[in-house]
Amino acid sequence: MKQLILTFGLAIASVVTFAQDAAKPAANPNAPKFQFKDKGDTYDFGTIPEGPVAEHIFEFKNIGKEPLVIQNATGSCGCTTPEWPKEPILPGKSAKITVHYNTQGRPGPIFKSVFIQSNAQLPEGKDRYEIFIRGTVTQAAPAAAPAK
């Protein structure tokens, strides 16, 4: 009886797994696609001082055959804020995503993500597109005590 239940359970698991694979839509060969310039989808600030807001502009091109529409972009924390184009990026055209990182009160290593929700073709195995910033923030010197 246990063997029958086990066999039946394995058969159901196989059917469910196959059904999920079969339900995946076929890739759109005309889908929009990001192609980031220069250093790609990761920018290294190197060593930067604590205090000012660090900024990097990610330039990209739509190398697909349909317009690329970015619905939303969010930072992995409140200290990382992106600005992105609100209008569609036509095939063959370029655009920019600007990422701001607030260094104030955040000395130490940086490794942050910006999650991009769009209609672009995603890299294999990904459920959203990500770009990254990294670097190290050096602690600001303590303020001098007022003279008496």
Q: State pLDDT tens for residues 6-35.
A: 555 555 555 555 555 545 556 788 899 999
Contacts by 139-143, CB closer than 8 A, 24 or more apart = 139/50, 139/107, 140/49, 140/50, 140/51, 140/107
Confirm if 120 and 60 have CB atoms less than 8 A apart. Answer: no
Q: What is the CA radius of gyration of the chain?
A: 23
Q: In which region does residue 108 sit, left (phi positive, over 0), alpha (psi from -120 to 50) or beta (all else)?
A: left
DSSP-derived pairing of the beta strands 129-138 and 42-49:
parallel
Say what the pLDDT of residue 29 is: 85
Confirm if 43 and 58 have CB atoms less than 8 A apart. Answer: yes
Q: In which region does residue 26 sit, left (phi positive, over 0), alpha (psi from -120 to 50) or beta (all else)?
A: beta
Beta-bridge partner residues of 53: 102
- Whether residue 52 is predicted with pLDDT greater than 60 in this model: the reply is yes
Confirm if 130 and 76 have CB atoms less than 8 A apart. Answer: no
Residues 96-141 pLDDT 10s: 999 999 999 999 999 999 999 999 988 887 888 999 999 999 998 7
Q: In which region does residue 37 sit, left (phi positive, over 0), alpha (psi from -120 to 50) or beta (all else)?
A: beta
Helices vs strands, H then E, count in the chain: 1, 8
pLDDT (average), residues 68-77: 95
